[in-house]
Amino acid sequence: MAMISTMKEQVYNTILRRIISLEYLPGQKISEKDLGEELQIGRTPIREAILQLREEGLITAIPQSGTYISKINLQKAKDARFMRESIETRIIQEAITKLTDYNFMILRQIIERQKLEADTSHNDMRFFEQDEQFHHYFYTVAGREQVWNWLQMVNMQLNRFRVLRLRSKSLSWDALIDEHKQILEAARDKQTEKAVELLSSHLHRMIDEEPTLKKDYGEYFE
């Protein structure tokens, strides 16, 4: 039973990663049979993983039609953004009181890696992962690792929106990098109110950019 559970988790993580990264596009049909053949795993763990993803709103089963990747639910994405802003503005206040020179070095390195991705490979998932690392690091410094882990459970639709935003040729990656730099500078200078204001504006970007994404990728949204 434990083996099946572990296999189910492996399948779940594989499918989830493909959904978040848009390797599986919103509305795309997937096949349990094809997944089993590709992953060399039996049908039971695949069905269990798909059931969990259905419960999380990432997969839709249509009778007599098949299994599809759910389209992006904007309301859930907006609710996750609201929750993240409410929490993260508190997190950065706690982190600012604890940040060391070593911590600032790590954060600068993350921004440098983001800039490198933007200037060279333009790999959206690697850029996204660095973006996540930047924000995650403040939770780590604040000693709120569990809060970050908990947020990931409600961030799925938001993260899909954010990766899609990186795919859009209408929206700049440099703007995200510049905002990270400004947040870091305010944190370094112990300008807590300014850091909170900058972070709040940064996390509000989704609301400002929604019309552009709906125009470019309308078919990907519910």
From 48, 69, 90, the end of a domain falls on 69
**pLDDT tens per residue, range 58-116:** 999 998 889 999 999 999 999 999 999 999 999 999 999 999 999 999 999 999 999 99
Q: 197 or 32: whose pLDDT is higher?
A: 197
**pLDDT tens per residue, range 151-160:** 999 999 999 9
Rounded mean pLDDT, 5-29: 92
From 69, 89, 113, the end of a domain falls on 69
- pLDDT at residue 80, as a whole number: 97
The phi, psi pair for 67, rounded to 5°, reads -110, 130
58 and 23 in a single domain? The answer is yes
88 and 181 in a single domain? The answer is yes
145 and 107 in a single domain? The answer is yes
63 and 78 in a single domain? The answer is no
Identify the CATH number of the domain in which residue 128 sits: 1.20.120.530
Distances (CA, A) of 82 to 78, 149, 204, 211, 216: 6, 17, 9, 18, 24
Structural domain harbouring 50:
2-69
pTM: 0.91
- pLDDT at residue 41, as a whole number: 87
91 and 195 in a single domain? The answer is yes
Inform me whether the pLDDT recorded for 202 exceeds 50. Answer: yes
79 and 65 in a single domain? The answer is no
62 and 78 in a single domain? The answer is no
Angle among Cα 30, 33, 37 to the nearest 5 degrees reads 110
- pLDDT at residue 158, as a whole number: 96
96 and 149 in a single domain? The answer is yes
Nearest to 39, CA basis, from 57, 1, 62, 13: 13
For residues 159 and 200, give the distance between their C-alpha atoms in angstroms, rounded to a whole number.
17
57 and 104 in a single domain? The answer is no
- pLDDT at residue 5, as a whole number: 58
108 and 50 in a single domain? The answer is no
Q: How many domains does the chain have?
A: 2
Are the C-beta atoms of 164 and 216 separated by less than 8 Å? Answer: no
- pLDDT at residue 55, as a whole number: 94
From 69, 89, 106, the end of a domain falls on 69
